[in-house]
Structure 1
Amino acid sequence: MSAFLPNGTVFSLAATYGAAIPVTALTNAAPPVATAAAHGLVNSDIIEITSAWTGINDRPARVSGSTAGTFNLEGHDTTNVSKYPALGGLGSVRKVLTWAPLSQVMQNASSGGEQQSVEWTYLEDGVERSKNTFRKAKLLTLTLADDPTMSWYPILIAADQDVKNRILRAALPNGGFIYYNVNVGFDPEPKLDANQIMTVQATFRSQGLFIRYAS
């Protein structure tokens, strides 16, 4: 049993990506094995998955077990053939080339993720019943000390304007990592409150489930 403080967590946003690498086969396994000729990926590379399997589409992964023509999507599990029909997961991956550390984070807030449900009643007994359906999209909001000279400033502006998904990394103080694939919003207008540090806000709207690695 352990308990950890988040103090010291460093957020970074993917700044540049490599070209899309076609995946010509993807296995039903844990982790799934991707076939991609001359992929050039090495273990510990972080990639974004594009797949016909919606359960892993748009999700981040870490490369493991890399060989000349295959690599593993570490941490993922596609063994459920009902959810991941055999031979149906083809697509591509793209590698994160560079990261932009998001420094001067003053506050971190998250919302969303609430379980939704559907309720119904049968006429014959009048008892309300309920089944879980989906969870609402998660939203992470970072409040940063305003400084337009910071290297992350133009990257957040570009991410806000191009509306493309980017991977967000949280490097935890205990050595672990959390990766999200997000749509970025950034308001560069600083908040001006008397006797308070000027701040700006960046929002990160999840495009799928996060993935976490212990180290």
Structure 2
Amino acid sequence: MAIRLPDGATVAIATGYGAVKAVTSISNASPAVLTSTAHAVPNNSFFELKTPWQKISERIWKAANVAANTLEIAGTDTTDLNRFPASPTGSTLREITAWTQISQILDYQTSGGDQQFWTGSFLEDDYERQLPTVTSAQSITLGIGDDPTLAGYQALKLAGERRDIRALKVTLPDGSVLLYNGYVSFNESPTLTKGQVMQVTATFSLQGRPVRY
């Protein structure tokens, strides 16, 4: 048994991306190896992957065992040919080249991600049954101490205005990392509650499941 406190964790938004690079193949392996000519992604850096393999697409991954034209997608397992049939075409990657810390976070909440079910019964049944369908949309909401001069505030505001998809990185006190990818919305109108710190709200509407290292 092990439990931890999040005290001291830092949160950062991606504020720099490299050029989009074509991925010519992704292997059925654990971890999967992708081929991208002269991708220039450094070892242990993070990148966004888009691929017809939906289960690993629109997520942020770490590059490992990098070579000139290949890299391992750390933490993946694509050996199941039923879930990952044949090497997909039309995949792309883009390296994350810069992060900006979102400081003065007062509240960090997640919502969604729950399994949804079809519920029904046959004519002859006297009870209902359930079949799993999809998981509900997931989002992360940050309450941030209001200070428009902070770099994180400005990065969130810009991403919200552009309706950009941005990566979000949470670094826990033990060095482990949580990675998310989603549309940013930002409400720069602060709360005004007597005796309470003024705060603004940022929301990340996730496009894929989180990745953890």
Give the TM-score normalised by the residue count of structure 1: 0.96
RMSD (Å) for aligned C-alpha atoms: 1.1
Counterparts of 1:150-169 in structure 2 under 5 Å?
A: 150-169=150-169
Q: Does 1:194 align with 2:194?
A: yes
Counterparts of 1:141-152 in structure 2 under 5 Å?
A: 141-152=141-152
Aligned-partner Cα distance in 2 for 1:143–1:171: 18
Residue of structure 2 in register with 1:13 after alignment = 13
Helix, strand or coil: the match of 2:188?
Answer: strand
Superimposed CA distance per residue, residues 85-108 of structure 1 (whole angstroms, 9 cap, x where no aligned partner): 112254110011110100000111
CA contact (8 A) 1:166 1:183 kept: yes
Residue of structure 2 in register with 1:118 after alignment = 118
Q: Greater CA deviation, 65-74 or 86-95?
A: 86-95
1:121 maps to a residue whose letter is S
Deviation of the 1:126 alpha carbon? 2.3
Aligned-partner Cα distance in 2 for 1:110–1:126: 37
Aligned-partner Cα distance in 1 for 2:22–2:114: 35
Helix, strand or coil: the match of 1:107?
Answer: strand
Superimposed CA distance per residue, residues 162-214 of structure 1 (whole angstroms, 9 cap, x where no aligned partner): 1221110000011100000111110011111111111101111111010100x
Give the TM-score normalised by the residue count of structure 2: 0.96
Aligned-partner Cα distance in 2 for 1:201–1:78: 37
- Structure 2, gaps ≥5 residues long: none
Quick one: percent identity of the two aligned structures?
Answer: 36
Aligned-partner Cα distance in 1 for 2:23–2:122: 48
Residue of structure 2 in register with 1:44 after alignment = 44
Counterparts of 1:122-141 in structure 2 under 5 Å?
A: 122-141=122-141
Q: Does 1:25 align with 2:63?
A: no
CA contact (8 A) 1:53 1:89 kept: no
Residue of structure 2 in register with 1:61 after alignment = 61
Q: Does 1:174 align with 2:212?
A: no
Deviation of the 1:68 alpha carbon? 1.4
Counterparts of 1:92-103 in structure 2 under 5 Å?
A: 92-103=92-103
Helix, strand or coil: the match of 1:41?
Answer: coil
